[in-house]
Structure 1
Amino acid sequence: MKHCIYLLFVVLVFTGCKKEEKEDPLDILTGKTWKYSLVDKNPSTNGTSISVPFNVLADCEKDNTLQFKRDGNLIMYTGNAKCTLNESETRTLSFSYNKQTKELIIDGIKCEVLELTKNQLKYKAPVSYQTGYVYVMFILE
């Protein structure tokens, strides 16, 4: 009887445990249409070395969406709210992503990915101001 219980326990352990497979970051990045967000679903990934301000969205940007394509193109779709009268419906930029360094380069601008999950893409990027460059955090969901 003791052997039967032990055997049952071993069978349950091996059949009940499923190996968790990590999804490829590029699959996550290119697997959905992203939208800007100001809600950080996971503040613990912000880092502790410096405080980075969030990107401030204009009302006309809140309905924009982005699609990272496997061919290295980032398609930005303008929503119904336009920032200018003659704003085009789409804009195509180049991008690349380095899984090892977590560096996302968008149209030549190097960004540091802080989090990349199915629920959230969070990265910080240098933004030019009159006083120089400031790192700003962008959140996409």
Structure 2
Amino acid sequence: MTALVVVMAMTGCSAQANASAEAAGGITSAPGENCTGGFESIWNSTPVDGNVSELPQETVTVVSETGRIFDAMRRTSNGTAEAVAPESVDYKVNVDPSWPKNHAVMIETATGKVLETMEIPADSPVC
């Protein structure tokens, strides 16, 4: 399955997100600066044809070095992908030392399977 990754730049990252990122040693930006709030791929989006039978019900995207969750998705009862607050997901990340540095790692929470790794653009820090 080929996935087109689209960076969704967001502005106005919250001070709380930045404080937790700094505490976790993650990549961050100052409040109000442009930063990446997440990555979109086949795994955390809703296909045009509506067929989600092979897609995960919930994913988290984490910073590879720290395991800090900065993006999360859950499917609604009709299969639509819906962004949710990272802190609302009950998932413990186990950082794998083989994960590439400066990457976002998307994980299916039900299985712990790594679905995709995406390089974090140097000019767009993670919120």
Which range, TM-score by smaller chain?
Answer: under 0.3
TM-score by length of 2: 0.27
Task: Select the structure that is richer in helix.
Answer: 1
TM-score by length of 1: 0.26
Q: Which has the higher contact order (CA 8 A, sep 6+)?
A: 2
Task: Select the structure that is richer in strand.
Answer: 1
